[in-house]
Amino acid sequence: MSRKLLIVFGSILGLIVLVILAIPFFVNAEKFRPMVETEARKALGREVKVGKLDLSILSGGVVASDVSIADDPAFSRQPFLQAKELQVGVELWPLITSGEARVTGLTVVEPSVTLIRNGAGKWNFATLGAASAKDAKAPKQAVSVSKLQIKDGHVVVQQGGRKHEYSDVSLTLRNFSNTSVFPFEFSATAPGGGKIAVEGEAGPMDATDTSRTPLNGQVKITGMDIAKSGFVEAGSGIGGMLDFDGTAKSDGKTMHSEGKVTVNKLVAAKGGSPAAQPVSLDYATDLDVVQKKGTITRGDITAGASKAKLTGTFDTRGESIAVDGRLKADAMSIDGISALLPAVGVTLPSGSQVRGGTASADLSLRGPLDRLVIAGPINVSNTKVEGFNLRSRASALSALAGMSSGSDLLVQLLNSNVRVAPEGIRTDGVNLVLPGIGTITGDGVIGSDKSLNYRMRAKLAGGGGVAGGLSALTTLGQSKGEIPFLIQGTTSNPVFLPDVAGAIGNTAKAPVQTLEGIGGLFGIKKKKQ
């Protein structure tokens, strides 16, 4: 008897399987295509095209091929989204018995999406699903799906002339509704590598501008290549590998963001090279979502044991974020920032390094991040440049031959007004006090190619072995006891040269004995008669 029951149950089970397998043959999924396109058009506010529809028992719903969603015509005539396949999860029984399509989930497979940001800071996705101002006042029609998913997506982000691609894009919305809060998960691979992951909740959807939808998310970025990310212009020279761990919370009007950014191998200027010391920024900002402008409420910058504070405002409307800020540092440890010198294009001579002492600065930061201009006074005290013998380096200046100098250059004080820009570094009003040597003053430029062009004056302690020649300088209107000289070459190989033009000044003609005095000062011998 039991065997007969097994045969009966087996037969019934087999019949059920046959019926299920036969469903696609007597349910015509194609008849739902106009409805799918119409409803999608109503929900998204864009033209939606769907290819052939097939009922798939294995996927538990309808499968649509070749799906496309039009872009906002103010941005592009090309599709906003194109997808290989759209899987629509439906309840099969209502579909079979009454032809009613009850959607349980949507999965977009291998979509290609183009995100465009215009000069006013607006995105083309902002109007996706948005209603007109008139329609926004009407009661919302609820749209709900238990699961909405994007798999293996490819996203192109276009801002002005820049275009950057993100791959392996995945987005999952659970219990999605346009009228309530829903959880979401997002992940992607950034240009040049690096992983982006965001997890949190969003909603209700803003009726007129999707970009103003409230959200609360945890953001994590690892190993992003700054130069390839699209945040800065490729030719700016700015680069490094960025990690970020923080949060973003928006009520649709103001977005508050805070967290920690760490950059390894930082390059901060054109012509710079990767810094050996990582730099981190512990920050908090508030952004006006409508005006696209924000305020830095906390900005603690750390490099080793050195710390500085960043305050100010920023504007996100342009191709690159523009900053108007202030960087203030008091008695920073030199050891923490010396490893950052290569990042701004300063490479010390081989075997040399800056050790000990402190630095203070009060700098303004203005302009787009990829064309940022940093300017203001800096003060360095009680440091030394190890492995740098000034007397040896300045051997071409015989007037400096008598100065005292060991294998390390001791710096008691260094003051200057600095301007760091894409074209290079300018230092004005340099005042350098060297114990046992004297005082050096002047101005100059470090080019983006690390070239040096400085015009300096040295006033040696106790005369420094320049007797006779100095009197010639005073007759030409120069300050008594000062030696004019040039620093050229590069930061890694500085060259000290006599500044004959500086010694002569504007004097067109000078007595022969005066010129002879200047020649002796710079080690130029008098010609024999």
pLDDT of residue 330: 92
pLDDT of residue 502: 63
Establish if 18 belongs to a structural domain. Answer: no
Establish if 400 belongs to a structural domain. Answer: yes
Distance CA 474, CA 20 (A): 107
pLDDT of residue 507: 43
pLDDT digits (tens, 9 = 90+) for 405-422: 668 889 999 999 999 988
Establish if 5 belongs to a structural domain. Answer: no
pLDDT of residue 50: 83
pLDDT of residue 468: 38
Residues 300, 234, single domain; the answer is: yes
Residues 466, 331, single domain; the answer is: no
Establish if 201 belongs to a structural domain. Answer: yes
Residues 466, 409, single domain; the answer is: yes
pLDDT of residue 514: 41
pLDDT digits (tens, 9 = 90+) for 262-275: 999 998 877 788 98
CB 408, CB 443: distance < 8 Å: no
pLDDT of residue 448: 84
pLDDT along the chain (529 residues), means of 10: 51 46 50 71 80 65 82 91 81 51 73 88 82 50 75 89 89 87 95 93 88 94 89 78 97 96 89 88 96 95 92 89 94 87 83 91 92 94 90 72 71 95 92 91 91 92 48 42 88 87 52 43 45
Q: Could you give phi then psi for residue 473, rounded to 5 degrees?
A: -65, -40
Give the end of a domain, one of 157, 172, 207.
207
Q: How far apart are the first and last CA of the chain?
A: 138
What number of other Cβ atoms are within 10 A of residue 162's Cβ?
A: 15
The residue type at 352: S
List the domain range (segments joined by +) for residue 59.
Answer: 28-207
Residues 190, 295, single domain; the answer is: no
Residues 146, 235, single domain; the answer is: no
Distance CA 285, CA 294 (A): 7
Question: How many domains does the chain divide into?
Answer: 3
CB 145, CB 129: distance < 8 Å: no
Residues 298, 267, single domain; the answer is: yes
Give the end of a domain, one of 155, 175, 207.
207
The DSSP annotation for 109-169 comes to EEEEEEEEE-TTS-BGGGGTTPPPHHHHTSPPPP-EEEEEEEEEEEEEEEETTEEEEEEEE
Establish if 380 belongs to a structural domain. Answer: no
Residues 46, 139, single domain; the answer is: yes
Establish if 22 belongs to a structural domain. Answer: no
List the structure tokens of 367: 């302009």
Residues 55, 103, single domain; the answer is: yes
Residues 220, 246, single domain; the answer is: yes
Establish if 463 belongs to a structural domain. Answer: yes
pLDDT of residue 466: 42
Element containing residue 40 per DSSP (H, E): helix 33-44
Q: Is the dihedral of CA 386, 391, 396, 399 positive or negative?
A: positive
Q: What is the pTM of this model?
A: 0.78
Residues 408, 313, single domain; the answer is: no
Give the end of a domain, one of 207, 240, 264.
207
pLDDT of residue 119: 79
Establish if 431 belongs to a structural domain. Answer: yes
pLDDT of residue 14: 47
pLDDT of residue 503: 61
Residues 439, 456, single domain; the answer is: yes
CA distances from 291 to 80, 203, 450 (A): 25, 21, 40
Q: Could you give phi then psi for residue 135, rounded to 5 degrees?
A: -70, -30
Residues 226, 308, single domain; the answer is: yes
Cβ burial 372-385 (10 Å sphere, 16+ → b, else e): bebebebbbbebbb
